[in-house]
Chains A and B, each alone.
Chain A
Amino acid sequence: MKTFYWLVKREFWEHKGGFITAPIVAGIICFLLNAMLIAFGEGHYGGGDFHTNFSMAYNSENLAQAGAVIDGLLYGVTMMVMIVTAIVVFFYSLGSLYDDRRDRSILFWKSLPLSDTSTVLSKLASAVIVAPAVAVVVGVVAGLALTIMFAGVATFHGFSLWPLLMQAHPIKVMINLVLLIPLYALWALPTVGWLMLCSAWARSKPFLWAIALPVGSGVLVGWWGLMMGNGGFTSLYWRHVVGRLLGGLTPGGWMTETSKLVHFDGDNPASALEKFDLTYHYSALASPALYLGVLAGVAMIAAAIWFRRWRDDS
């Protein structure tokens, strides 16, 4: 366990810029953009028309809706930060088992009593658990900063500060976001597994292989579908194979598999968020697509461990 902690720590030493600096910068940019939007709205309209839902809430003095807008803001900012982290993690996974083979520092790591299994798993954990957790923390902090600013602006429009903040649920949002990390990890597993497999296997240019194989096979399948006049399989293949191998890091990607019984009402953020709860997200667990992806991900990680152990090109 201690070794595993240090292995993960090593990943963060190496990728501090991607895992920590990048989400923080994204959070700051998000905050600034929103501040600029508010300033713009205030300056031009003065009536608080800068956000439809918010102004609707103003007009009806509906505190519940205003609170939901703030909750949505927290989700939204975290989402933006997560997107940045997802891009970082994509490239991190591609390099994770390749870069040290290229610069031969693998010979140093292999001179230590570290099993290849724990090495690969530490990189996997960094990619699907720790990096997203950092993104959530940064996103929530940026979101809270925005909330405070929003609430401050709202007081100028006649809302009293505390009742408004009481209608927002920052703690609940945070807990939801944290509890979504395991689902994110499960959903991202086939993509991260695939990228790490390419990273462990490719003798050069893992990026090219990682993209070319799924996309190339998708094109072939599409061509075959055209020949056979059967486009249905093509779209299934692109969605469930190509999409899952390359796009699994997209935050909320599992929402294609969640319960179809839930319908959102865009004009009613409070009720939308109400439905946007953990039960809704975790209903993705009922979908075979998620399980098959996890199975494929586990198999690819196992293959990556095997290549890490036996790939002999140093």
Chain B
Amino acid sequence: MTAVVTANGLTKRYKSQAALDGATFQIGSGRIVGLIGPNGAGKTTALKAILGLTTFDGQLEVLGLDPRKDRDKLMEQVCFIADVAVLPRWMKVGDAVDFVAHTHPRFDRAKCEAFLARTKLQPKQKVRQLSKGMIVQLHLALVMSIDAKLLVLDEPTLGLDILYRKQFYQSLLEDYFDEEKTILVTTHQVEEIEHILTDLMFIRDGKIVLDADMDTVGERFSEVLVSAEFAAAARQLKPLDERQVFGKSIFLFDNVSRPELERLGEVRRPSIGDLFVATMKGTYA
């Protein structure tokens, strides 16, 4: 596995508060990594550091380059959608395609036009006349036509309806992603990207608290539905979390052997959402 991003002790302070506090992680090529964390945990700061949009302390290498020094070169290989609907509102759809075609050496115009043909976007339309969902379609068409090694998505589907959200991730998987490419995505809508991720990273208070590929996550974490008589025994095994449903308890365990858990009740794979809630307990307290 060649590393696309290597971060070591990534630290960034805003006045008194640390947005990143020694975050250390590695992202390999050909992965789809979800960076998940509560509001204010440092997700966006981490992405900004990777994109060379902010200063930071610590070591960070993206595709072998330092994003602080070699940002211009880096951006030929890295693409990002930093927020929903940030395309300039005065621009026409056709101008946007023209502009990227003439300024980005790795842009494939024919590809972009094919993507746009699948939408209702017209070259003469201005961005300000488009709905939020259509702006994202345009942005995605532009980005997917760029042969970049790393694509960074920061809350790319926030505020879109479910049709656009599903279509967004589906296009990414079907028309864009391959083993040469790496996608790093943050979102609060965890359940929607759960099935496309290959790796999962949890960030809390500027630190990476979980960094594992999805297979490992499946092996490590289990959710057990326990009836009242076994609840005490379950608690002995130091569950991460316990919640009540219909008179039964659901326990979440980290690294407890499966046969042991099966004696307590029905074992399932936890959803990322439940895992997230359990891991982040007490964040806002």
Contact = CB atoms under 8 A, between A and B. Distances in A.
A112 interface: yes
Interface in A86-141: 100, 103-105, 107-115
B53 interface: yes
Interface in A63-85: none
Interface in A1-26: 2-3, 6-7, 9-10, 13-14
Nearest to A103: B89
A310 interface: yes
B82 A107 contact: yes
Nearest to B106: A113
Interface string B52-87: 011100000000000000011101100111110011
Interface size class of chain A, counting residues whose CB lies under 8 Å from the partner chain:
20 to 34
Contacts of A107: 80, 82-83, 86
Nearest to B55: A310
B90 interface: yes
Contact of B72 (A7, A113, A312): A113
Contact of A110 (B53, B73, B99, B102): B53
B88 interface: yes
The majority secondary structure among interface residues of chain A is helix
A105 B103 contact: no
Contacts of B72: 113-115
A105 B99 contact: no
Nearest to A16: B90
A113 B83 contact: no
Given A312-B55, A314-B53, A112 B86 contact: no
A105 B88 contact: yes
A6 B53 CA distance: 23
Given A113-B105, A312-B54, A6 B88 contact: no
Contacts of A3: 102-103
B193 interface: no
Contacts of A312: 48, 53-55
B104 A105 contact: no
Contacts of B71: 309
B55 A105 contact: no
B87 A108 contact: yes
Contacts of B100: 112
Nearest to B77: A113
B237 interface: no
A112 B105 CA distance: 10
A164 to B, nearest CB: 46
B209 interface: no
B102 A14 contact: no
Nearest to A15: B90
A49 to B, nearest CB: 49
B82 A112 contact: no
A10 B99 contact: yes
Contacts of B228: none
A10 to B, nearest CB: 6
Contact of B91 (A2, A6, A13, A309): A13
A113 B103 contact: yes
A12 to B, nearest CB: 11
A109 B105 CA distance: 15
Interface string B33-57: 0000000000000001001011100
Contacts of A13: 90-92, 95
B83 A112 contact: no
A1 B260 CA distance: 68
A219 to B, nearest CB: 33
B103 A112 contact: yes
A104 B79 CA distance: 16
A138 to B, nearest CB: 22
Given A104-B83, A310-B55, A6 B99 contact: yes
A113 B86 contact: no
A112 B75 contact: yes
A105 B75 CA distance: 16
A310 B68 CA distance: 9
A111 B81 contact: yes
Nearest to B78: A111
A111 B139 CA distance: 11
Contacts of A108: 82, 86-88, 139
A189 to B, nearest CB: 25
A300 to B, nearest CB: 22
A314 B100 CA distance: 22
Contact of A14 (B48, B75, B80, B88): B88
21 contacts: A3-B102, A3-B103, A6-B98, A6-B103, A13-B90, A14-B91, A104-B83, A105-B87, A107-B82, A108-B139, A109-B88, A110-B51, A110-B53, A111-B75, A111-B79, A113-B104, A114-B72, A114-B75, A114-B103, A309-B71, A312-B48
Can you list the 10 inter-chain pairs with the closest CB atoms, starting with the nearest? Answer: A107-B82, A105-B88, A113-B75, A115-B72, A113-B76, A312-B54, A6-B102, A107-B86, A104-B86, A111-B80
Given A111-B79, A314-B53, 6 more contacts: A13-B92, A104-B86, A105-B86, A110-B75, A111-B80, A312-B53
